């Protein structure tokens, strides 16, 4: 039921004029959940329009470096963004809003004229994964999954409820996206991964990132162990 609702929210009509929420450090991956608090008047107007007139979806676009100089206007954004369906919405007494988005797809954005709206919209085109002939080698997927699982085990020592939200049998693209969402913090790297349509290249990129992260975790644990001696 949830998947059907998510798919319906990003139909052809929505793609023709998709609301755009630019953010400085946020990249939305397909399949990821993103809670947001909307308080600026233009984005409160955006969510109210989404809920009243549709679409119940929006694109989360990462702001390009230097966005601070023109933030109140239309600062430059990366053209490839994550499109998400609005799973839940709460209007608070002070006029602000809490929402949860569910990532649906990668999209490329072609911005539309303002036409009197305070917020931005774009014509969006869905970008499909590119799977190499023969698929992604099992060994590469296993390396990504096992490294991410090792990191998750360390995280659960402090946060027992932490999960990656994946299974070994999931599609390689989904595994890479979920691991990137849960374990990679750097917004520029997240954007690079979002823009990597070739699934084999995406798996390799995410694997390298989590290998480096696991090595850093082990180094920190060793340092702490020596400090405790």
Residue 22: closest CA among 81, 69, 66: 81
Q: Before 113, cis peptide (omega within 30)?
A: no
pTM tops 0.75, yes or no: yes
> Which residues are within 8 A (CB) of 137 and not within 5 positions of it... i.e. 6 or more apart?
200
> Which residues are within 8 A (CB) of 196 and not within 5 positions of it... i.e. 6 or more apart?
202, 205
Q: Where are the domains of the chain?
A: 2-127, 138-228
Instruction: Output the tens digit of pLDDT for each of the chain's 229 residues.
Output: 233 344 556 788 889 999 999 999 999 999 999 999 999 999 999 999 999 999 999 999 999 999 988 888 899 999 999 999 999 999 999 999 999 999 999 999 999 998 999 999 999 999 999 999 999 999 999 999 999 999 999 999 999 999 999 998 899 999 999 999 999 999 999 999 999 999 999 999 999 999 999 999 999 888 776 665 5
CB 37 within 8 A of CB 128: no
**C-alpha distances in angstroms, 223 versus 216, 217, 218?**
11, 10, 9
Q: How many CA atoms lie within 13 A of 59 on its CB side?
A: 33
Please say whether the structural domain 2-127 has been given the CATH code 2.30.130.40.
Answer: yes
Q: What is the DSSP letter of 80?
A: E
């Amino acid at each position: 039921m949830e998947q059907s609702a998510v798919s319906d929210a990003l139909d052809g009509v929505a793609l023709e004029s998709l609301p755009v929420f630019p953010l400085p450090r946020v990249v939305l991956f397909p399949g990821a959940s993103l809670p947001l608090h909307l308080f600026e008047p233009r984005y409160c107007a955006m969510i109210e329009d989404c809920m009243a007139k549709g679409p119940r979806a929006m694109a989360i676009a990462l702001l390009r470096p230097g966005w601070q100089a023109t933030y109140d206007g239309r600062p430059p954004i990366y053209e490839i963004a994550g499109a998400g369906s609005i799973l839940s919405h709460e209007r608070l007494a002070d006029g602000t809003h809490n929402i949860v988005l569910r990532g649906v797809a990668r999209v490329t954005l072609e911005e539309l004229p303002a036409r009197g709206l305070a917020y931005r919209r774009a014509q969006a085109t869905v970008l499909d994964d590119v799977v190499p002939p023969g698929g992604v080698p099992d060994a590469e997927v296993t390396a990504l999954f096992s490294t991410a699982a090792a990191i998750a085990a360390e995280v659960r020592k402090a946060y027992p409820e932490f999960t990656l939200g994946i299974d070994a049998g999931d599609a390689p693209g989904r595994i890479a996206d979920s691991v990137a969402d849960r374990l990679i913090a750097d917004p520029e790297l997240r954007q690079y991964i979002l823009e990597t349509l070739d699934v084999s290249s995406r798996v390799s990129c995410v694997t390298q990132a989590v290998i480096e992260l696991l090595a850093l975790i082990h180094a920190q644990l060793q340092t702490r162990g020596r400090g405790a001696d």
